[in-house]
Structure 1
Amino acid sequence: MNSEKISVREKICYGLGDSSANIFFGMTMMFLPYFYTDVVGISASAMGVLFLVARFFDAFSDPIIGHLADNTNTKYGHYRPFLLYMAVPYGLSCFLVFLAPDFSPSGKLIYAYLTYLFLIMMYASTVVPYVGLLSVITGNPEERLSINAYRFPLAKSAFLLCSVVVPAFVATYDKAHEAEGYMTAMIIIAIIAAGCTLTCFFGTKERVHIEVDTKNKKSSLLSEIKIIFKTKTLRSFYIFFALTQMAFTFKGSSAIYYAKYYLQQNDAFLTGVLAAFSIAGIVAPMVAMLLINRGYFTKLRMLEVATLGAGITAVPIMFIPAEYYFASAAFLVISTFFGELGIIVYWALPCDCAELCEVKYNKKMIGVLGALALFSQKFAMGIVGILIGGILSYVGYVAGGAVNGKIAAGILSIVAGLPAICHFVSYYYLKKYDLDEEKVSKLHEEMNAIKTANA
């Protein structure tokens, strides 16, 4: 088990890889639903179907890419080559999805399908290997947690860039030229995304050697997926993970509707709310790491507190009148802060799950497990996109139209009610996840014994 200390420089370089990923996540979660409905002119129901189709696409592409990364062996390692070769196509895909060409309604929808599917394919081709990379930078669980403590503030800094700079920049354009504002902003965003991915490639090193199994490659992916479904620990983790991502996505995707149409505030207030989201995401991982290092919480206990706290603090938003907009927005930010307290833990858990699979099933499958985590994240985004589109259609939402009581209730349900439910149900599944620190330590002992015997 590799116990080498990882330098701060390498931790930062690894974290910049997630900065790149959060450019995709931030832009698509915060602005793409609004961009499709209010800028491009796609109906809310058509947007929902698009997100559903994309999730079916993800269901096949993500595990295949993860399996491919697990079985890749080059002079750059298993996972880093994908960051090198896919960085520029990924940046290009970020740019293309936020163009609004002057096509017919059907042409706009076809363009949206092509560019969004291209984007999620490029995202998967960089981020699936990126998640697996953590397991081979170091085999030390404490170092992995420390890497994540650098990673997520950097990731949320990219989120802050998207949430503050993009809407502020677009606001300098009038409504008739809003599409041009998004196009110009995305040129810069795309360059940053590609640059961060390349920095991650050049600034990291794969230290943990993985033996690539050259036998039964055709059937191994299917066997690995079967392992995930039949193992309670893995099932519980992925259900928890998907529900947690749904809660985050509900809050982020509906914030723009919440601020502009429910609270009836201007773009400056929206920018402030989105910036507060990002700042919460920067500060919370640091606080969580401090609390864990000082022994106040174990990793899983920290995750439990984060999950329950996020659900409880979302509930008051449903009952605070719109005229008390500062109080209502404050609870939304606090709920986000609680949720972010757990992020350094649950993104480290796939590595623990991979070690369980190696000891129990003799399968090296961190790429597939990481792919399933990302698929859970994107599946959550797709389901939320469908639900937001369906709820807004049901309550009679029209872009730029007047907001009545039914529309207000619909917006509240997607910004607070449904996120709270997701957090509470995810807590139930988190309690079923039984791979605590003691069991992880025993896994390491067994892995070392196996490697010693093989040597």
Structure 2
Amino acid sequence: MITRGDLQMNTTDRRQAKFDAVRFDADAKVRLRDKWCMGLVAVSTNGPWVIFSYFLMYFYTDILGMAGTVAGSLMAFARVFDAITDLIMGWAIDHFNLKWGKYRSWVLFSIPTQFVLFIMIFIALPDTTSVAQKVIAYIGYGCFGAIGSTLCFIPTNCQVTNMAKSQTERASIAGIRGVAKNVNKLFIVACYLPIVTFFGGGNEKLGFLISAIVFEGVYISFVIWDFVMSKKYELNADGTYRTHLRNIDVSTGKEIEKISFLQQIKELVRNRPAMVVVVATFILYILDGVRSGATVYLYNNYFERPELASIGLFFNAGCAILGSLCIKWLIKFFKDSNRAYIATMIIDAVMYLVWFGLILVIGRERSGELMGVGQPLFILYALCGFLQGAHLVFPDVMLPMAVDYGQWKFGHNQAGFIFSCYGFCLTIGGALGSALLGILLDAIGYVADTVMAESVLRNLLIVGVALPAILTLVQAVVQAFMGLNDKTHDQYVKEVAARE
């Protein structure tokens, strides 16, 4: 006869076995289910920003009645605030070992914070011109990025470094994250406004609010799953920290003295792989901001095919999904992560420059015809998205290598601070890319809703296609100085494991 005690023992044994099955050596595998959890939590941190990039300005100006300059200033100020809190978040992760885990504790704090603040952003009071409305808008958007999103984004990126030590496994996770984010982006672009209309029934204020509740509810469910899943990677079955996360000097058994913020900066500067990847990522998000923002201008003005802009973006993003999936095979083909990353950048830049050259040779009018669906230039543009997708996801593979190198060199975990610098560069780089595009549009003489000279349109093509391609080549040169390959990285991981 099976007693209650036997059942409890069996449950305890199964729970212990789940924790014992987790390995942290250089060849350890990560369960596919856990990889998809990391992919979906990436959607939860990326999805709101996709919604903001496409629809928030419209909500502010057309629903709340804000002046464009006021709305733009609010969004710009919030991004600067967000960049600063990224660095604070990284410092906090490295300095505190909270009850629920090194990284997942912060994820837990983000759950109610993100949910409430995201909904606040889309609250429209009966009097949208009131002071209360402005306060809600400023607090909602300003604090969502700086507090709610940061509490989740930095720790969940650190979790990838902790879960997988193998570059193959990290590439697999990065690919899944890239696919999940791009699929979510396609869904938002195609379906968000129809969903707003469905829920609003003619009342856009209500439609935006209910849509915000529904979308953020789904995103938060992914975050909750991550919090549950990641426990076995950060804690032992009895609730104590995993050995490698305890900040204990294994030679003395004593706690490692916490280092100052200034010392963290000094160590980051001495961590060559981290510095290279962070600077290269900064360039990446500048060029991506220019390229993404210029696409609609090219379709509307250079090709004079505005009806194809959304279709072209859809196919380009679809190919980006495939590119994200192929990272693991790109690394396998080039036999090294950094070599594969550099090759991807070079080929990506060359393909865009070929597209640019063909457009110049063929001429603007004929190019517009060949940008139709299924036409040669359209197909080439869609294929450019394949390498662009891999290009944007590769930092998720390279940054964990830099974290491992820092732990090998300095004897303690730098994950929080390194990923916070990544978040800082992502935020500031994207903002600078958008600002640079605006400056260049003014510089070339672009004026909306007017007939522009051929020289202006040619310069628009240079800004939107050639300039990002050239910046991609600059990024490839920077990335070439990383000085860390997969073979050496694996050796460092084994040496760190031996110390523990």
After TM superposition, the score normalised by the length of structure 1 is 0.83
Give % identity.
18
Query: SS of 1:6's equivalent?
Result: coil
**Contact persistence 1:98–1:183 (CA under 8 A):** yes
Alpha-carbon separation, structure 2, partners of 1:169 and 1:402: 34
Q: 1:4 to 1:313 in 2, by over 3 A?
A: closer
Is the contact made by 2:109 and 2:151 (CA closer than 8 Å) also made in structure 1?
no
Distance 1:415 1:171 in 2: 33
Q: Distance in 2 between matches of 1:47 and 1:418?
A: 28
The one-letter amino acid paired with 1:148 is A
- For residues 197 and 462 of structure 2, the distance between their equivalents in structure 1, rounded to whole angstroms, comes to 27
SS at match of 1:347: helix
Work out the CA distance in 2 between the residues paired with 1:271 and 1:248: 17
Give yes or no for contact 1:20–1:197 (8 Å, CA) kept in 2: yes
Do structure 1's residue 446 and structure 2's residue 446 form an aligned pair?
no
Shift, 1:13, TM fit: 1.1
Residue 180 to residue 199, structure 1, CA distance change in 2 (3 Å): same
Q: Is the 8 A contact 1:51 1:385 kept in 2?
A: no
Question: What amino acid sits opposite 1:304 in the alignment?
Answer: I
Contact 1:306 1:340 in 2 (8 A): no
- Give a deviation string over 1:117-139, Cα, whole Å, max 9, x none: 22212211111000011122233
Q: What is the CA distance between 1:85 and its match in structure 2?
A: 2.8
2:320 is aligned with what amino acid? Answer: G
- Partners of 1:159 and 1:125 lie apart in 2 by 22
Report the secondary structure of 1:206's partner residue: helix
Note the aligned Cα RMSD (angstroms): 3.6
Partner letter of residue 424 of structure 1? Answer: L
Q: Which moved more, 1:200-209 or 1:387-396?
A: 387-396
Max radius of gyration: which structure? 2
Aligned residues of 1:16 and 1:151 also touching (Cα < 8 A): yes
Counterpart code for 2:390: L
Q: Distance in 1 between matches of 2:66 and 2:114?
A: 24
Q: Letter of the 2:224 partner, please give it.
A: L
Runs of 5+ consecutive residues of structure 2 not aligned to the other structure: 1-23, 235-241, 249-254
TM-superposition CA deviations, 1:4-59 (whole Å, max 9, x none): 42211111112111111220342334445666677767677666655553443234
Cα distance in 2 for residues equivalent to 1:255 and 1:163: 15
- The residue that corresponds to 1:333 in the other structure is 382
TM-superposed CA distance for 1:240, in Å, is 0.7
Equivalent residue letter for 1:115: G
Residues 127, 238 of structure 1: CA spacing in aligned structure 2 closer, same or farther, 3 A cutoff? same
Q: Residue 248 of structure 1: which of 275, 282, 288 is its match? A: 288
Contact 1:51/1:382 (<8 A) preserved: no
Alpha carbons 1:84, 1:201 under 8 Å: kept = yes
In the alignment, residue 339 of structure 2 is paired with which amino acid?
Answer: R
Shift of 1:159: 1.6
> Are residues 62 and 180 of structure 1, via their aligned partners in 2, closer, same or farther at CA, if it must alter by over 3 Å?
same
C-alpha distance in 2, partners of 1:257/1:105?
35
CA distance in 2, matches of 1:155, 1:354: 24
The one of 340, 363, 368 aligned to 1:323: 368
8 Å CA contact 2:166, 2:490 repeated in 1:
no
**Number of residue-to-residue matches in the alignment:** 445
Matched, 1:301 2:346: no
Bigger relative contact order, structure 1 or 2, given CA contacts below 8 A and separation 6+? 1
Asked whether the 8 Å contact 1:67–1:367 carries over to 2, the reply is yes
Aligned to 2:43: 19
Which runs of 5 or more residues in structure 1 are unaligned? none
**Match of 1:140?**
166
Range moving further from structure 2, 341-350 or 34-43? 34-43
Q: How far did residue 354 of structure 1 move?
A: 1.3
Asked whether the equivalents of residues 156 and 281 of structure 1 are also in contact (C-alpha less than 8 Å), the reply is: yes
Match of 1:119 among 137, 144, 148: 144
Q: Following TM superposition, by how much is the alpha carbon of 1:248 offset from its aligned partner in structure 2, in angstroms?
A: 2.5
